[in-house]
Structure 1
Amino acid sequence: MAYDVELADRIRDVLETTDDLDVPSEVVEKQMFGGLGFLVGGHMAVAAGSRGDLMMRVDPDRAGALLAERHVEPMVMGGRPAEGWLRVAAEGCLEVDDLRRWVDVGLERVRQLPPKPGKG
């Protein structure tokens, strides 16, 4: 199943207006996990899923608090929750401020990680 093109466009808009991020040189788009991932430093920060849902990378120490929020659930891969990943249902991403908040959570996490070799 293909990713949600409208959500991917909305994520691009958010990334392009993120003050401390140079989109052309720092962000790479890559199809993965059935969605379109947005990578920074070689690490996927967020991805547009196929049902308008957003996958995001999170600090595992923050996952519990984030899971308590509406529309947030564990990201399940291969039948098991993926540590450090959460899914936000489409309803939790409808407003631009909500989408920006979740994209910022993903960006915050990947900025804590060392860049992958050859990825800046």
Structure 2
Amino acid sequence: MELNMNKWICYAVGYVFITSGILKLLVSDFANLFINLGLPFPEITLYVVAITEVACGMLIAGRMYLKYALAPLILVMLGALYLTKIPVLLNDGFLSFAFDARLDIVMLILLLLIWQHTRGKVVA
């Protein structure tokens, strides 16, 4: 049963990152968001994040090279929380932060669960 659950968690996590990355590439509003965040080279950063999400999401959904796919996505999630959700916490309070950050926090937890499950295992 554990193996089957891990497979479905990988499918769900992969799905979220694949769709998120594709939307970042197709919807122009994301370029404005990255510009407003004050990131250096916002358009290049947007493409790097989007391609990372799609590529690593596909690897996780396929349960391939998990150790290599998880670290970049954990960094993406930490960056998203820091850049987009911490300001909500500071400006609007905890309840607004908790609501806005719910998907980010769940995805980070799932990534860490997959990371812990693959630790010490040889995964192609």
More strand per residue: 1
Which TM-score applies when normalising by structure 2?
Answer: 0.33
Which TM-score applies when normalising by structure 1?
Answer: 0.34
User: Which of structures 1 and 2 has the bigger CA Rg?
Assistant: 2
More helix per residue: 2
